[in-house]
Amino acid sequence: MHRFVFFSFLVVASVFAVELSEKRGGLCFRSDDNHTPAKWKRLAEVFEKHDFPLCASLNFVMGAPRPGWVQMVKDLQARGHEVMDHSPNHRVFQMRFGSDEAAAAMLGKPAVDHVSGSNVYFQYRLQKDAKPYGEGMARVSGNLFKPTGGGEVKRWRGIPFLRFDGVEGVFLLASQRDDGSFELRSFWGEGNVDLDAEREVRYHRLTKEQILSFPDALRVQAEAVRAVCTRHGLALPTTWIQPGGAEPVLWRWDVAAVFGKEFGYTSGATYPDCSLKCFNEYDPDGDRRFGMQWGNFIEDGQDLEWNKARIADGVARHYVMIGHSHLGGPAKLGGWEGTLKRTDELLSWCRETGIPVRTQTEWARILYDLKTDPAVNVFPALGMDRDANGVPDGLSLGWGVKVEASVAGTVLVATRSGKICMVNRLGGLEKGENQLRIAVEGALGSSLQTQVRFPGLRSAQAAEVTIGELGKAVLDCAVVVPPKASWGIVTLSCQLAKGTSLRMSQPVLSMPPVKR
């Protein structure tokens, strides 16, 4: 039987409008690790009640054989939630295969160091010119390590790797004993270390960021996840999430090179130098989308008010914020049930106050693919107080400054000289020349000062306007945003004629033409 395929080419004459981003910040709720389908279902129901998506970061190879897991992923995907790749077995330098035979077949493959049972252990390498986190002398013997000369190993759980002069390989600090010595394990955590008879050696500590993986190891993992999806008819994940634990952590460019370029992933979460996730973030290599780490708000570990305050403040300054959940919660906040309730309340508040909630994949597209509308006023709205704390979101107010509603909108009233307000780390700025416009009312001789700073980029710009006899003035100045700036600090202050006050209306900071 022949099948004829006809291609028709449609020439569309109309001009499509380019989709521009309004630079509206928002939220992504990410929950990690494999939990029972029943737990995921309950969480999904909370999100579906508010018509918002959740993001589930799962270990595909570990999860797939478990009862109900595949159907759960299908259901989540069918309902518009995002299922993310959290590595095959919650490890990057080690992978458990389905059988000893499958693992043994990996021996001799690129990036494979050794195989034991069904586990494949991947090679690692040290970052070039890695400066040791700390170094000193230690006595070692067998699998024991003890710093000498009063040396103390600080934060050893967070920075657990070290190497020794004259000894090959990197070792992992395991438990510390009462006498101050540590048990040494292999780089991968195996209990097979034997450094021979006792002697003194020089040690160099290494941070998790200084130990790197090989692209071939990541390829094996991406292929394993893809194979699970193909076998079970699941949609392929498009987001890679760094698993936590004692292992070294990947850099965003390593994730981008393999998962992004070769496997079509569009974003990721990595720890070192993670992305700011604000609009117009400086991104010369186009890989910031692979550093979208979580923890900007913590719905499973902090109470509702804490979360609302953080979210309101970040969203007002044009940031995308990613939550944090392991489908549990501290007992003092009601455990898992408390987290469900808090999540429900947060989502309901997002609906009421117009905070968008999207998947990470969708946010990556909006943040890093879309062009921004330069005419949007990026100065936080004085009338916006989503967390109802009496302070406009995104601002900190000076002493004695009041917020007043007026027919012309919300104004700030300064009753003494000094700071009116500050916006720290304001995102969404357009690179190049912007316009800052602020109208004030007050007594003759009172003045308004503005300062916009870009710390680290040696740029600070100041302007001033003085009120004349009409009792009004408009400050209108240029603010040049350096090409490398992702955010700036805006400070507004005043000098008042004695015994008077000053009213400041909504500042406008945008690229002309100004949108009012």
For Zn ion, the closer CB: 243 or 507:
243
Q: Give the nearest distance from C-beta 255 to Zn ion in angstroms.
A: 15
Q: Give the nearest distance from C-beta 299 to Zn ion in angstroms.
A: 16
For residues 471 and 409, is the Cβ–Cβ distance under 8 A?
A: no
Q: What are phi and psi of 104, to 5 degrees?
A: -60, -30
Quote the DSSP letter at residue 259.
I
Q: Give the nearest distance from C-beta 136 to Zn ion in angstroms.
A: 33
For Zn ion, the closer CB: 33 or 281:
33
Spatial separation of the C-alpha atoms in residues 141 and 164, rounded to whole Å? 12
- 31: Cα separation from own chain's centroid: 13
Edge-first strand listing for the sheet containing 418-426: 396-397, 418-426, 488-495, 447-454, 459-466
Spatial separation of the C-alpha atoms in residues 1 and 191, rounded to whole Å? 62
Write the CA distances from 205 to 19, 139, 271, integer angstroms.
49, 15, 19
For Zn ion, the closer CB: 250 or 492:
250
Spatial separation of the C-alpha atoms in residues 482 and 431, rounded to whole Å? 6
Note the residues at the interface with Zn ion (CB under 5 A): 32-33, 243
For Zn ion, the closer CB: 243 or 488:
243
Q: Give the nearest distance from C-beta 89 to Zn ion in angstroms.
A: 11
Spatial separation of the C-alpha atoms in residues 379 and 377, rounded to whole Å? 6
Q: Give the nearest distance from C-beta 419 to Zn ion in angstroms.
A: 43
Q: Give the nearest distance from C-beta 241 to Zn ion in angstroms.
A: 7
For residues 358 and 53, is the Cβ–Cβ distance under 8 A?
A: yes
For the chain, the C-alpha Rg in angstroms (whole number) is 28
Quote the DSSP letter at residue 258.
I
Q: Give the nearest distance from C-beta 216 to Zn ion in angstroms.
A: 23
Report the run of H or E that residue 497 belongs to, with start and end: none
Q: Give the nearest distance from C-beta 163 to Zn ion in angstroms.
A: 27
For Zn ion, the closer CB: 292 or 504:
292
For residues 22 and 377, is the Cβ–Cβ distance under 8 A?
A: no
Q: Give the nearest distance from C-beta 173 to Zn ion in angstroms.
A: 21
For Zn ion, the closer CB: 29 or 349:
29
Q: Which residue is nearest to Zn ion (CB)?
A: 32
For Zn ion, the closer CB: 63 or 427:
63
Q: Give the nearest distance from C-beta 409 to Zn ion in angstroms.
A: 45
- Cβ-based neighbours of 311, under 8 Å, separated by 6 or more: 27, 297, 321, 346, 355, 386, 387
For Zn ion, the closer CB: 327 or 465:
327
For Zn ion, the closer CB: 32 or 209:
32
Quote the DSSP letter at residue 210.
G
The bridge status of strand 30-32 relative to strand 55-58 is parallel
Task: Find the distance separating the first CA and the last CA of the chain, reported in whole Å.
Answer: 64
Q: Is 281 helix (H, G, I), strand (E, B) or coil?
A: coil
For Zn ion, the closer CB: 315 or 327:
327
Edge-first strand listing for the sheet containing 239-241: 30-32, 55-58, 82-85, 239-241, 267-269
